[in-house]
Structure 1
C-alpha cells in the first residue's frame, strides 16, 4: 500500500468514485463525473492524499486551506473533508494512516488548527479532535414576525441573485472572521466557486450604505418553505432588518427555516412567537463538527479570562505533546515549553476543548480528556472561560 499526494485533476479518477459511493446516491453517472471534473478548478489549493494498492485507489482524505477565529486570533486552518474508503478496504486503518500524515503535512504548511464533520466522532476523538456545537435551525411561520412590519427601521434590505451580491456577502464573512470566535472561511480559490452557486438568493441589509447583515435563501414552492442559510449580522439592527424582510413573505410561504448560531435566542424575537429551535445531531448524516489544535503555538494571543499561570503536560499526541507553561497576562494567553512538573495532564482533545471554550476543566476530566488537582482546575477555568464557537462554513 502506498500513500501519495495528488493534484486536483487526479481527483476525478481516484477520489471521485469513493466519494460518490460514500456520500451520494449511487451508482454515479457519467454526467456526475463530468460535473465533478469541471469543479476541480476550485480545488487547486486543496491538499489531497490517497492510499493505493495494485494501482487501485482504496481511500482518500483532503484538507481545504481555510482561516478560523479562535478566541480573537485568526489562524490558518485545515478543513478536513472528502474522507472515504472503498468498501472492500474498510477496517484496515487506511483512513487513520492518511489522517496522521495529512495533519502532519498541514501543520508543516502553517495550519495551527483543524476542523471537520465526522462520520463517527469516536474515531476522530482518537485523533485528538473534540466536538463543538452544531449550527442550530429556527423554524417558524412568517406571521410570527408581523410586529416588525410596523417598525420603522433605519436601513433597507436588497434582494439579489447570489452571483450579483456575492462581493458584499463575502466581504461580510471576512469582517465576521475577525470578530467571531469559531468563524471560518475558505481561501479565495475555493470561495470563488460559491459566486456561481445556482438557485440562491441573497438578502443584504444595509444601514447608511454599510452592510450589517446578509443571508442566502431559496423558496421551495408557493405556500412551502423559505429555506435560509446562516443568519449573518454585525448586531441587532442587521438581525431586525433581515427578520423584517422575512416577515414580508407572510402570504407567500408557510414556514421559514433559518440557520442560527448558539448565541441566538429566537423565542425572544417576538411576543407569542411560536418557533422550533433545533440542534439536531444524528449519525452519519448530521454529525456535529469537531476541532483540534495542530500546533501548541495556537494558544499564543488567545483571549485570556484572568491573569493566571499553570503548567500542563499534553500526552499521547505526536503533534502537540510536551510540557508547557500557559500564562494569562494583559488579557492574552502565552505558552512556552518547560521542564517544570505538570499541574495538569491533558490529551489533545482536552487542551483543544479548553482552547475552543466548549468544556470547562471539570468536564475535561469527566470526559476522560485529562487529570488535574484542585488549584489547576481553578487556574485553567480562569484562563479558558466558557466561550461557545460558531463554526460557520460547511465543508
Structure 2
C-alpha cells in the first residue's frame, strides 16, 4: 500500500468513485462523473491524499484551504473533506493512516486549526477533534414580519443573481471572518464556485456599507423560500433582510433560514411564530468538529484573565507542557512549566473553542483538571459558542 498526494486533475479517476459510492445514490451516471470533473478547477489548492494498492485507489482524504476566526485571531485552517474508502478496504486502518499524515502535513504548511463534518464523531475524536455547534434552521410564515413593513429603515436591499452579487457577498464574509468567533471561509480558488450557484442573493446596504446578505431560492408560488445563512453585521442588516423577506407574504407560505446558536428568531417580531431547531442525526445531519494543530500560533487570541499551565497528552502535533496566560486580554503561550491540568487534544480544543468548561472536560473524560486549575481555565477561556460558516 502506498500513500501519495495527487492533483485536482487526478481526483475524478481516483477519489470520485470512492466519494460517490460513500455519499451519493449509486450507481452514478456519466453525467454526474462529468459534472464532478468540471468542478475540479475549484479544487486546485486542496491537499489530496490517496492510499493505493497495485495502482488502485482504496481510500482518500482531502484538506481544503480555509481561514477561521478563533477567539478574535484569524488562522489558516484545514477543512478536512472527501474522506472515503472502498468497501473492500474498510477496517484496514487506511483512513487512519491518511488522516494522520494529512494533519501533520497541513500543520507543517501553516494551518493552526482544523475542522470537519464527521460521519462518526467517535472516530474523529481519536484524532483530537471535539464537537462544536451545528447551525440552526428556523422556519416561519412571512406574515409574522408584517410590523417590519411599516418601518422606514436607513438602508436598502437589492436582489441579484449570485453571479452579479458575488463580490458583495464575499466582502461581507471577509468582514465577518475578522469579527465573529468560529467563522470560516474558503480560499479564493474554492470560494469561486459560489459565483456559479443558481440562487438569488439579497444584499442589504446602509449607505455604501454591505450590512447583510442572504442566498435563497423559491420552490414555487405558495411554497417555501429557502435561505442559507442569514449573514449580517448586526441588527440593522438583519432587520433590512427580514423586511425584504416580509414582502413575500403573498408569494410564499414559509421561509426557512440558517442561523447561529446566538440568534433568537422568536424575538424578531411581536407576532412571529417560528420553529427553530438544531438537528443532529448521523451520518447525514452532522454537527461539525474542530481541533487545534498549533498551540504557539494561538498567541494573541482574545481571552479572559489569569494564568495556568497544562499538559496536552497523546498527540504528536501539540503534545507537551504549555504555560498559558493573559496580557491585556491577549493569550500568551510559552513551553514548559509545572502543569495543574492534563488534557487530551479534544479537551484542550474544547476550551479554546469555548464549547466546554473545565468541569465538562473532566466529566467527559477529556482530561484531569485539579481543583486549583478549574477557576484559572474558566477565566482564561470563557465559554463562547463558535459559528462555523461553510459546509465542506
Equivalent position of 1:206 in the other structure: 205
Equivalent position of 2:282 in the other structure: 283
Does residue 73 (structure 1) correspond to residue 62 (structure 2)? The answer is: no
Structure 2 gap segments, 5+ residues each: none
Q: How does 1:117-266 map to 2 (within 5 A)?
A: 117-198=117-198, 200-266=199-265
Q: In 2, are the aligned partners of 1:357 and 1:389 still within 8 Å (CA)?
A: yes
Shift of 1:341: 2.4
Equivalent position of 1:331 in the other structure: 329
Equivalent position of 1:346 in the other structure: 343
Shift of 1:272: 2.9
Shift of 1:299: 2.2
Shift of 1:342: 1.0
Shift of 1:39: 1.0
Equivalent position of 1:310 in the other structure: 308
Deviations 1:38-85 (A, max 9, x none): 111111100000001122111000000100000000000000000001
Deviations 1:271-302 (A, max 9, x none): 13210000000010011000000111232111
Structure 1 gap segments, 5+ residues each: none
Q: How does 1:264-279 map to 2 (within 5 A)?
A: 264-279=263-278
Q: Secondary structure at the match of 1:213?
A: strand
CA distance in 1, matches of 2:312, 2:213: 41
Q: In 2, are the aligned partners of 1:59 and 1:84 still within 8 Å (CA)?
A: yes
Q: In 2, are the aligned partners of 1:137 and 1:279 still within 8 Å (CA)?
A: yes
Q: How does 1:91-102 map to 2 (within 5 A)?
A: 91-102=91-102
Shift of 1:194: 1.2
Q: Secondary structure at the match of 1:158?
A: strand
CA distance in 2, matches of 1:259, 1:247: 17
Q: How does 1:97-112 map to 2 (within 5 A)?
A: 97-112=97-112
Q: In 2, are the aligned partners of 1:143 and 1:250 still within 8 Å (CA)?
A: yes
Equivalent position of 2:378 in the other structure: 381
CA distance in 2, matches of 1:241, 1:41: 36
Q: Secondary structure at the match of 2:14?
A: helix
CA distance in 2, matches of 1:297, 1:282: 35
Q: Secondary structure at the match of 2:352?
A: helix
Q: How does 1:363-374 map to 2 (within 5 A)?
A: 363-374=360-371
Shift of 1:374: 1.2
Q: In 2, are the aligned partners of 1:304 and 1:329 still within 8 Å (CA)?
A: no
Does residue 43 (structure 1) correspond to residue 43 (structure 2)? The answer is: yes
Deviations 1:361-386 (A, max 9, x none): 00011111111111201000000000
Deviations 1:319-351 (A, max 9, x none): 00001100112001111111x321000000011
Shift of 1:170: 0.5
CA-atom RMSD in angstroms:
0.7
Equivalent position of 1:392 in the other structure: 389
Equivalent position of 1:362 in the other structure: 359
Shift of 1:17: 0.3
Q: In 2, are the aligned partners of 1:113 and 1:298 still within 8 Å (CA)?
A: no
Q: How does 1:4-43 map to 2 (within 5 A)?
A: 4-43=4-43
CA distance in 2, matches of 1:241, 1:314: 46
Q: Secondary structure at the match of 2:98?
A: helix
Q: Secondary structure at the match of 1:20?
A: helix
CA distance in 1, matches of 2:154, 2:338: 59
Shift of 1:270: 1.2
Alignment TM-score, normalising by the size of structure 2: 0.99
